[in-house]
């Protein structure tokens, strides 16, 4: 049986350094050399998953095919690699303690005192190991498992996970485990100097736990000098060749894998893991960067939502838009507009220079009326409009009010007593009180309807998309909508649920119940996003 290799990625000094992008880039580099990888995100929070967390606090919830509500970094993993991740790829403190306590209640520990070591750490290691992919006959397919440990070294919450990582060296042998530590080298403006001391202290924290990092990725705003590299090597006991300056990237996060490759990161990793230095195949990445750096046009795209103040709240939406921009050879100027501030008095000023409008998903009544105004403006002014999940509900509500004349039309979510609930709860959702993991989640098959823009985008009838919702289009109003040119363009396979609607006679007015952003890739933009940007480009040239 072959030895499986493990790469643990940790972070120090401060949060938000980009461990997710670093881990994703390592995954891309290992795949480029022909290695089969698995990826795992370990999050120290006590929530069992990210499903009930506020987007303002934790960013978007990324949904996998099997319906897991996970950290947004799993989205990065899927975008940078060929992986299709699952619930197994997201591990939290809440999951670990829940499963250990369940075993204790069943008597699985035979009366032993259940402790952090070995019971919690053993469960962490078990969850990491089950991400290894195997064939139907039991052959191990995975060569390398990449584990991103959330949080910052020194946080009390991360200690059990770091201890479990340390134990891997004992369990599988040091030659099969390496530690990549991401740190910050800050600039002290008053002194005009870059300081390595925070990195030294961060490595010292790791060493106190029993982990000596093999590789340092140092976030820095300019190229590291040889003197700095020597100093860091001296105080951290990490070889100079294994100290990589992760300089801020100018154009796009998709430059990071190539940047790391050119600085020798792949070779350092493979040598330390005692793996063959297979030839690297990164042509598609270089071609992508060439496209990104040399656009033929520029577009103004408005994303109108209520979580606008946090970049990560709509992370996958922004990335999917950019992917579509790459395919259409345009640079997108994404204007983030808070729907709470949208009024009939200022809407023209805010949107008159916009070439395309997107309303993303979300929950709750705050900012809804601003979104309804936005949909009306897009419809009346023939501006390409793309609604996702809540964005579909908005499109339906607006049309019911202003075209069908149902002035009180609303969603049951926003007005439980409305006489015209054009959006209502899924039948199985009507009386559910628990919030976490209770929605319609994961990948479902649907069918597009011929002679619609949606069908033309996909160029096929049967599609598979990821969902995350508990409300739906109310079929009692379907006939009235279609008589007035709001067309149903996609349904579930049994035709019971409406999956998409579109404005008839409009250049591009499509709204979908599912979340296409979760399946978009930098090398393969999602078809709806691609056609939305194409339509926006046409609109921009006309205006």
User: For residue 432, is pLDDT > 70?
Assistant: no
355 is catalytic: no
What does the pLDDT read at residue 194? Answer: 86
Please tell me the total number of residues recorded for the chain in this structure. Answer: 543
pLDDT given at position 430: 54
For 197-246, how does the pLDDT look when each residue is reduced to its tens digit (9 = 90+)?
999 999 999 999 999 999 999 999 888 999 999 999 999 999 999 999 99
> Distances in Å between the alpha carbon of 149 and those of 12, 89, 91, 164?
11, 12, 10, 11
Asked whether the predicted pLDDT for residue 39 surpasses 90, the reply is yes
172: how many CB neighbours lie within 10 A of its CB?
A: 16
Is residue 337 within 8 Å of residue 303, measured between CB atoms? yes
User: How many Å apart are CA 138 and CA 174, to the nearest integer?
Assistant: 25
Average pLDDT, stretch 1-15? 89
Say if residue 475 is exposed, middle or buried (CB neighbours under 10 Å; 0-12, 13-18, 19+). Answer: middle
The rounded mean pLDDT for the chain is: 93
Which residues, including other chains, have CB under 8 Å from residue 402's CB and lie 6 or more apart? 376
Which residue in this structure is represented by tokens 């379907």? 478
Query: What pLDDT does 435 receive?
Result: 53
Residue 514 has φ and ψ, to the nearest 5°, of: -90, -175
Residue of 515, 526, 531, 539 marked catalytic: 515
Q: What is the CA radius of gyration of the chain?
A: 25
Q: If DSSP states are collapsed to H, E and C, what string results for 136-183?
A: CCCCECCCEEEEEECCCCCCHHHHHHHHHHHHHHHHHCHHHEEEEEEE
How do strand 187-188 and strand 193-194 relate by DSSP bridges? Answer: antiparallel
**Residue 409 in tokens:** 């039309």
Structural fold of domain 296-542: Rossmann fold (3.40.50)
pLDDT in tens, 312-326: 899 999 999 999 999
Residues of the chain with CATH 3.40.50.300: 5-176+257-287
Contacts of 294 (CB under 8 A, 6+ apart): 329
Contact 333, 300 (CB under 8 A): yes
Active site residue 218: no
In angstroms, the CA 360 to CA 528 distance is 14
Q: Determine the average pLDDT of the residues in 465-487.
A: 95
Instruction: Give me the percent of the chain exceeding a pLDDT of 90.
Output: 84
Burial of 447 (0-12, 13-18, 19+ CB in 10 A): middle
Phi, psi of 138 (to 5 degrees): 90, 0
Catalytic annotation, pick one of 148, 319, 517, 531: 517
Q: What is the pLDDT of residue 179?
A: 97
Q: Mean of the pLDDT values across residues 400-412?
A: 96
Task: Judge contact between 194 and 220, C-beta under 8 A.
Answer: yes
Residues 119, 389, 465, 506: which is the catalytic one? 389
Q: Which range, of 66-70, 386-390, 438-442, 464-468, averages the lowest pLDDT?
A: 438-442
Q: Which two tokens stand for residue 397?
A: 């509500």
Q: Where in the chain is the domain with CATH 3.40.50.880?
A: 296-542
Distances from the Cα of 476 to the Cα of 417, 422, 480, angstroms: 17, 8, 9
pLDDT at site 58 = 78
- CATH superfamily, domain at 5-176+257-287: P-loop containing nucleotide triphosphate hydrolases (3.40.50.300)
Q: Is 515 a catalytic residue?
A: yes
- The mean per-residue pLDDT over the stretch 28-39 comes to 97
Cβ-contact 301, 534 below 8 angstroms: no
Of 4-8, 16-20, 75-79, which range is least confident? Answer: 16-20
**If pLDDT is split at 50, 70 and 90, which confidence band does 310 have?**
confident
Q: Is the pLDDT of residue 1 over 70?
A: no
Q: Which of 45-59, 206-220, 273-287 is predicted least confidently?
A: 45-59
Return d(Cα 398, Cα 354) in angstroms, integer. 20
């Amino acid at each position: 049986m072959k030895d499986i290799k493990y790469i643990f990625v940790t972070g120090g000094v401060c949060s938000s350094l980009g461990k997710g992008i670093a881990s994703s880039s390592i995954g891309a580099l290992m795949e480029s050399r022909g290695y089969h990888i698995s990826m795992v995100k370990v999050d120290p929070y006590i929530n069992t998953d990210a499903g009930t967390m506020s987007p303002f606090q934790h960013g978007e919830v990324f949904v996998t095919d099997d319906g897991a509500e996970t950290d947004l970094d799993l989205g990065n993993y899927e975008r940078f690699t060929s992986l299709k991740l699952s619930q197994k790829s997201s591990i939290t403190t809440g999951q670990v303690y829940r499963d250990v306590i369940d075993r204790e209640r069943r008597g699985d520990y035979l009366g032993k005192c259940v402790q952090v070591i070995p019971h919690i750490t053993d469960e962490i290691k078990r969850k990491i190991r089950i991400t290894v992919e195997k064939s139907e006959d039991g052959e191990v397919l995975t060569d390398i498992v990449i584990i991103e440990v959330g949080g910052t070294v020194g946080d009390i919450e991360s200690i059990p996970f770091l201890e479990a990582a340390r134990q891997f060296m004992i369990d599988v042998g040091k030659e099969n485990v390496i530690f990549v530590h991401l740190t910050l080298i800050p600039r002290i403006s008053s002194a005009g100097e870059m300081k390595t001391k925070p990195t030294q202290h961060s490595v010292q924290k790791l060493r106190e736990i029993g982990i000596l990092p093999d590789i340092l990725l140092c976030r820095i705003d300019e190229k590291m000098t040889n003197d700095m590299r020597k100093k860091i090597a001296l105080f951290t006991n990490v070889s100079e060749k294994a100290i990589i300056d992760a300089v801020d990237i100018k154009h796009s996060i998709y430059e990071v894998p190539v940047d790391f490759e050119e600085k020798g990161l792949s070779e350092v990793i493979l040598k330390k893991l005692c793996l063959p230095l297979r030839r690297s195949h990164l042509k598609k990445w270089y071609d992508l960067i060439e496209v990104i750096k040399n656009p033929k046009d520029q577009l103004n795209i408005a994303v109108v939502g209520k979580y606008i103040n946090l970049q990560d709240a709509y992370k996958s939406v922004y990335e999917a838009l950019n992917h579509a921009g790459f395919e259409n050879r345009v640079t997108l100027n994404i204007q983030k507009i808070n729907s709470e501030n949208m009024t009939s008095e200022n809407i023209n000023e805010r949107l008159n220079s916009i070439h395309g409008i997107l309303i993303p998903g979300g929950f709750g009544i705050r900012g809804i009326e601003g979104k309804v105004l936005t949909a009306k403006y897009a419809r009346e002014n023939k501006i390409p409009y793309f609604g996702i999940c809540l964005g579909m509900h908005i499109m339906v509500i607006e049309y019911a009010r202003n075209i069908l004349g149902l002035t009180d039309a609303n969603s049951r979510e926003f007005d439980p007593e409305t006489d015209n609930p054009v959006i209502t709860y899924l039948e199985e959702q009507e009386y559910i009180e628990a919030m976490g993991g209770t929605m319609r989640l994961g990948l479902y098959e649907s069918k597009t309807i011929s002679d619609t823009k949606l069908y033309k985008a996909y160029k096929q009838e049967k599609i598979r998309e990821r969902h995350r919702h508990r409300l739906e289009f109310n079929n009692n109003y379907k006939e009235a909508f279609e008589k007035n040119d709001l067309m149903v363009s996609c349904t579930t396979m049994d035709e019971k649920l409406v999956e998409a609607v579109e404005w008839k006679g409009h250049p591009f007015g499509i709204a979908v119940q599912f979340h296409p952003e979760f399946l978009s890739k930098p090398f393969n933009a999602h078809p709806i996003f691609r056609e939305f940007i194409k339509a926006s480009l046409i609109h921009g040239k006309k205006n």
